Amino acid sequence: MGALMFDSMLSSRWISIFRRNFLVWRKQMWGSLVSHIAEPLIALLAFGYGLGALVGNVQTPFGTVPYFVFIASGLICMSTMNSASFEALYSAYSRLDHQKTWHGILNAAVIIDDIVLGEIVWAAFKGLFAASIILLVMMALLLVGGHALTWHMIFVLPVLALVALTFSSMGMIFTALAKGYDFFAFYMTLFLTPMMFMAGGFFPREQLPKAAQIITEYMPLTAAVNLVRPLFLGSWPEHVLINLAVLIAIAVIAFVIALKLLRKRFAE
Amino acid sequence: MLLFEASHLVKNYGANKVVDDLSFHIAKGECFGIIGPNGAGKTTTLKICLGQTHADSGSVTAFGLGVSSNLLAVKQRMGVVSQFDTLDPDFSCEENILAYGRYYGMSDRAIKERIPKLLDFAALTHKAKARPGELSGGMKRRLSLARALVNEPQLLVLDEPTTGLDPQARHLMWERLRELLSTGMSILLTTHFMDEAERLCTRLCMIDHGKKLIEGTPRSLIAEHLPPEITEDIEGVGVLKRRSNLEDLFFKYTGRQIRMDS
C-alpha cells in the first residue's frame, strides 16, 4: 500500500481544485443547503416523532434511550454518506464528462492525481457541511424535546469527517468507471441503500438474523453508526480502533483504486 | 535555440497506427503548424506533447526537459487552448481566469493583477462579469486563449483555434496570435484550415495517417512542390487562373476523397 501511494506525484495543487468547487458552490450554497437538510429532517420528524411514538424506548449497550435520540444518531450518519456520495458521483461525473471541467484543468499545470484528491476532499467537505448543519438542528430539537446534550457530541463531527472521506473515495471509484449517470443507480441500489437500512441506523443491528449481522458488521456505515451513536447518548463507543480502522482502510484502498482507474481513463 | 522537440513518436490504438514515427521541433519565437485532415493524428500528437497520453515509443523534450519525467515543470511553462471549450459555465469571465491561474499555483493577487490585461487582450473587458453562456463562439475562444495566457507561458499550444468561428472572429483571433508571436512567444498549433496555416505558421508539417508527408515554410513548400499558377475549370463559372496555395498542396498530398473513417 505504501508503495502504491508513493508513486503518486501528489502536490499541493489539489487545493486549487477544491477552491474551484468551493467558488461554484458559494454561488448556490443556499439552494444546496435546503436540499441536503430537508430530507434528513423530514425523516427525523417522520420516524423520530411518528414511529418513535409507537416504538417508545430502545435498548442499547449504552442504556435505554428514546427512539428519537436513537434514530437521530443514525440519520446524521446516513446524511453524511448520502451527501458525500452524491457529490463524488453525480457532481464529479458532470465535471468529468458533461462539462469537461477536468479536461480544461488538465491543460494547466495540474495532473490527474491532484484532481482526484481535490475532488475527494471536496465531496467529503460537502458531506461534513451537511452533517454540521443537521447536527445543529438536531441539537436544537433534542433540547426542545427535553433531551440532554452531552459534551461527547463534540467528537461527532471529526468522526463524520472521516466517514465523509470514506464515502467520497468509494464514490470516486464508480465515477471513474461510469459511462453515464445511469450507472450510479447500481451503486445506489447495491451499496448505499442496503447500508442505509441495514447498518443499524433505523434499528439495532442485533434484531437482524445472525447471517445478516455478520454480513453487515464491516460495512463502513455500520462503523460510522457504531462510533457516532454512543456519542449522542453520552457514552464512549466500543471498539473505537477497529471501527476507525475499517473507515480508514476503506478510504485509503478506495482512493488508490479510484486514482489508478482515473489515471487510466485519462491516459486514453 | 530549440524550445521544443518531439522525436520519433509512435502511438497505436490496438492495430491502428495513429502516430507513425513523427518528429518535429520548434525554435523560440516560431509558430509551428501541424496540418492534416480530420483523423490524421493531430490531436493525439498534441496529447503526447502535453504528457496527457504516453507514446508507445519516441520522446518529447520541452525547455530542455523530458516531458514525461518533468510533467509539472513543463506544464508550468505552457498554455493550452483545446479544440472544445472547457470554460466553467458557472463562472464569469474574470472568475474563469482566476480559477485557472490557481491551477498554475499563482497567488490571487498576481492573478487579479493580470485579469484586466488579459480581458483587454481578448476584447472582453465589457464582458468581465458575464458567464460563458452569454458569450458568442468567438468570445468563448478568446476567453480560453486569455485563460491559457494567465501564467505567461513560453509556448502556447492551440488545437484548431478557429474551428467553428465566423470570419470576423477568426480574423480577430489571428490578429491576437500574431501579436503574441511579435512579443517572442512560440506557438504550436494544429489546423485543417490552409489559409490559417499560411497566415500564421513560420513552419509547418503536413501529416496524414500519423505520418509526416512534408515539412517547411508555407512559401517554400508551395514553390517546391507546385507550379506557380493553377488553372481550374469550374463548370458554369469558367476557367480560373490563380496562384497556387497551401490548399492545392494539401489536396496533392492527402487526396480529395471524403474520409469515411474520421
Task: Report pLDDT for A4.
Answer: 42
pLDDT, one tens digit per residue, over A215-261 is: 999 899 999 999 999 999 999 999 999 999 999 999 999 999 999 99
DSSP state of A147: P
Mean pLDDT per 10-residue section of chain B, whose length is 262 residues: 91 90 95 90 92 92 92 94 93 97 96 97 96 95 97 95 92 95 95 89 93 90 83 84 83 72 46
pLDDT, one tens digit per residue, over A194-226 is: 999 999 999 999 899 999 999 999 899 999 999
**With the CA atoms of B123, B125, B127 and B131 taken in that order, what torsion angle do they form, in degrees rounded to the nearest 10?**
90
CA distance A103 to chain B (A): 7
Which residue in B has a C-alpha nearest to residue A95's C-alpha? B88
> By a Cβ cutoff of 8 Å, what residues of chain A touch chain B?
9, 11, 13, 16-17, 19-20, 23-24, 27-28, 99-101, 103-111, 266-268
Please provide the CATH number assigned to the domain covering B1-77+183-262: 3.40.50.300
Domain boundaries, chain B: 1-77+183-262
Predicted-complex ipTM score:
0.89
Better-scored residue on pLDDT, B237 or A186: A186
Task: Report pLDDT for B220.
Answer: 87
Q: Residue A1: how many CB atoms within 10 A of its CB?
A: 9
Contact A47, A178 (CB under 8 A): no
Q: In 3-state terms, chain B is what percent helix, strand and coil (to 5)?
A: 35, 30, 35
Please judge whether A24 and B90 are an interchain contact, meaning their C-beta atoms are less than 8 angstroms apart: yes
